[in-house]
Structure 1
């Protein structure tokens, strides 16, 4: 897969992934006080169920395209502190790993039935913040230098 195609796929998947989490945090949490707890619980379960059908494909494409992009920048990653680009890319990759670990833990809790509303809410807020930082780092890699 060429760099341009990998970059385009990566951006589209990132937009979808961040968009879903942003919707859950900014929209769903905003209407929570206006919806009965039982109804909110049902809504969360339906969102999780739908997400488990769609998001694995988005995440897989995001990760595979990201690996392709990382392979393209492998020389920079061999000595990440030698340039601002390498340093920012390395920090971005650490955050990506943190997001993936959090996703796996959340999915595991969801499957086990131990993902309560509080964890759902907190986990998604944390993910959204991490992903915003990843986006900022992704842009900074090309515009910030020292």
Structure 2
């Protein structure tokens, strides 16, 4: 039961996080060329304000549930590292997730310090989007490992 709860919480947080990043990359970025620069700056500022209030909770729950699953369920499958295909995929997924966390913390910090430029906003979102696609592929591959 505990595993099912952790897995469901992890999946819901991942869907929310990936959904937000997907929206920003697939829908928000293409409208940039159709809006005046000052309007896009206001849109990005509005996103930053909302992200600083909401997304830290999602990220904390996402990582806490992932760590909980690793500790409770997957530790015996993960260790020793690289001993089997599952542990290789899980290790890669964890490394990508840590990279996403670093991106997220740096983006929030830049936003709080008013150093988040439009260019940095775009690059961060494209990078996190690529990371998230790879994490989803690895998560699916883990079912077959």
Contact 2:100 2:128 survives alignment (8 Å): yes
1:40 is aligned to: 40
> Distance between the aligned counterparts of 1:56 and 1:82, measured in 2?
34
Moved more, 35-44 or 103-112: 103-112
Aligned-residue offset at 1:41: 0.1
The SS at the match of 2:82 is helix
The SS at the match of 2:116 is coil
> Distance between the aligned counterparts of 2:143 and 2:83, measured in 1?
15
Q: Aligned ranges for residues 37-116 of structure 1 at < 5 Å? A: 37-71=37-71, 72-116=73-117
CA RMSD of aligned residues (A): 1.0
Q: Aligned ranges for residues 111-126 of structure 1 at < 5 Å? A: 111-126=112-127
Return 5+ residue gaps in structure 1 as ranges. Answer: none
TM-score by length of structure 1 reads 0.95
Moved more, 72-81 or 53-62: 72-81
> Distance between the aligned counterparts of 1:53 and 1:102, measured in 2?
17
Runs of 4+ in 1 over 3 A off after TM superposition: none
The yes-or-no answer on 1:7 pairing with 2:7 is: yes
TM-score by length of structure 2 reads 0.96
